[in-house]
Structure 1
């Protein structure tokens, strides 16, 4: 009852503030205004509940969409990893093929360099033997001369 009395006083104050008309608590319009206020409160409560339900449904839909997005992202990650593994495998294969081709291309050059080096060493050794033989011959003649 105290709540209704407070509501009546609030209505009287609001009517006077807005229109300048002074109402009393026993004025018949107060009952109409109280009923109207109760109906408005009920409508606002109904609207609030409807909005909450709508937001809950929207949140559920968003949650489903987010779950689908996360699942798609996981699939893309798996797909990406598979692609990277395939690329790495192909890259390794190409690298091995390239190594074989490079070795095959370089082998004649390496063989030619090794042959040139061996020929150069052989030539130096032949010259060394020749010089050693000449020196030995010179020493031999020098010893013969002294004997």
Structure 2
């Protein structure tokens, strides 16, 4: 029973992709496994469904877009909403400008969240992607009116 969660987290802990400090990517990223970002991403980051993916954003890294990854360790800047279906850790140099939707949250002294912290329970977890996609679409319609 407990081994399934541990094996998911261990599988995700291996970094398979590194985006270096001097790299700037414009566009959406879809990945599985482990992703470490030391550079800049302008676009959305999404982990493959059903995967125990881990995103590590270093203090040098920056994301401008939506992040949908089950396990996250954030120590850099994010401008956009974050959706963590399993676990998110906001380290001391994390700076979030957007809402954080989470199941399990760790926050270090010194981190900043300029937005709402919204807990997602077990029953809501499966609807997380659908509900927030609809909310984002509604916000876009209101802004265009």
**Structure 1-normalised TM-score?**
0.16
The structure richer in strand per residue is: 2
**Structure 2-normalised TM-score?**
0.16
Higher relative contact order (CA 8 A, sep 6+): 2
Q: Which of structures 1 and 2 has the bigger CA Rg?
A: 1
